[in-house]
Amino acid sequence: MKLLLEKAHIEGIRYYDTYRKNGGYSSVEKALKMSPDEIVEEVKKSGLRGRGGAGFPTGMKWSFLAKPEGVPRHLVCNADESEPGTFKDRYLMEFLPHLFIEGMIISSYALGSNTSYIYIRGEYAWIPDILEQAIAEAKEAGWLGKNIKGTGFDCEIYVQRGGGAYICGEETALIESLEGKRGNPRIKPPFPAVQGLWMRPTVVNNVETIAAVGPIITMGGDEYAKLGAGRSTGTKLISACGNLNKPGVYEIDFNLSVEEFIYSDEYCGGIPNGKKLKACIPGGSSVPILPANLLLHESNGNKRLMNYESLSEGGFQTGTMLGSGGFIVLDEDQCVVRHTMSLAHFYNHESCGQCSPCREGTGWMYKILKNIEYGKGKMEDIDLLWDIQRRIEGNTICPLGDAAAWPVAAAIRHFRDEFEWHVLHPEEAQTRNYGLAHYAEPRTIVAAQ
């Protein structure tokens, strides 16, 4: 069942008239007849979890918002989408801007935000034009501005471009950036819900989270919560990339198996050139990489499903995370050491530099990985890498430290033999890849069932 992308195929859906003719803005109509607290209650009942990566319950986040008398509150949408492998919010904003703006209006009304901001990554330079047009159209139709539809509620939405910094996807760094500062995360507490943008109570939500609010109001929180699996309610956008026949953005049911998602023609259509699946990072580059056998099955042998619980089954020993839904697939020809090196370079480049474990550690990890990849590594370097990542994790102000540590830890945990092979065969490693080695061949597993 599609809730977000249901109308994506309709010609001209980007524009207000077409969107409205196809049932658009009926959720705002309904919401404006409810009280703000009733909307918060529906979102709580829906079980919606933050779609940016952390998966924190949205209704609960909203209920933490402080409401001191006479102090303005703000809704800030995190459209800084920068986690490697993730490009779903871009799709929503580019092709379904009004679905997103509908969610922004309802959420602003529910939270009492008269001025809401959309903070979008600077590189998506053409998207603010699309959003600003949608906002202007909504305002023209009376869904934004002063005294919206006679409710007495005023609301303006502004779009701000960032300047190119992964760290600004962290909510307190985003707030700093919105205030015109460097994107250095703040120490929590105080949490943004109490002191956020300009020290005012602030809620920061991801684009996909906000886009889901409209459908939740339309169908009711209880109905939304019936979709999905367990605590993974509703639907999720997955941005699939890497070695796939049909990379792209898909809306999935949380009961879908990972295997079906990769191989069925309805989704990614398998791996090009008949190659085998080697590994996958299913939730954006910072979540642990899993080898094919663990990816397709939980440790108890059950099929692994595309939801929060199933993907994290077994903790980091045998599982990973759904994260942002940035689904990166590596085929048999890919080198795990090289890929990990690339990610280590990314995190080193993106560290804001506030905390020494992250600022220094990410650089050390990159240099060591580069040595191993280019045939200059030693066996003890592998243990050194493990040691460094362990000392970064949990020792930084924001989660970028963990995000940098986890990919390295998981690569060593599951592919240690590949690192060792690089050290033992420095010259061979320059001309060919380690390939599949001992990992299970996924096609055989499929046939056996």
Judged by the rule CB under 8 A, the positions of this chain that interact with another protein are: 72, 81-87, 90, 115, 117, 121-126, 158, 160-166, 177-183, 198, 239-243, 247-249, 281, 285, 326, 328-330, 334, 338-339, 342-343, 345-346, 349-350, 352
Closer of 169 and 377 to another protein (Cβ): 169
Closer of 162 and 214 to another protein (Cβ): 162
Tokens of 87: 């490009």
Nearest approach, Cβ of 291 to another protein (angstroms)? 16
Closer of 209 and 243 to another protein (Cβ): 243
Closer of 71 and 379 to another protein (Cβ): 71
Closer of 219 and 372 to another protein (Cβ): 372
Nearest approach, Cβ of 139 to another protein (angstroms)? 14
Closer of 122 and 314 to another protein (Cβ): 122
Nearest approach, Cβ of 207 to another protein (angstroms)? 12
Nearest approach, Cβ of 47 to another protein (angstroms)? 28
Nearest approach, Cβ of 39 to another protein (angstroms)? 25
Closer of 42 and 350 to another protein (Cβ): 350
Nearest approach, Cβ of 345 to another protein (angstroms)? 8
Nearest approach, Cβ of 412 to another protein (angstroms)? 16
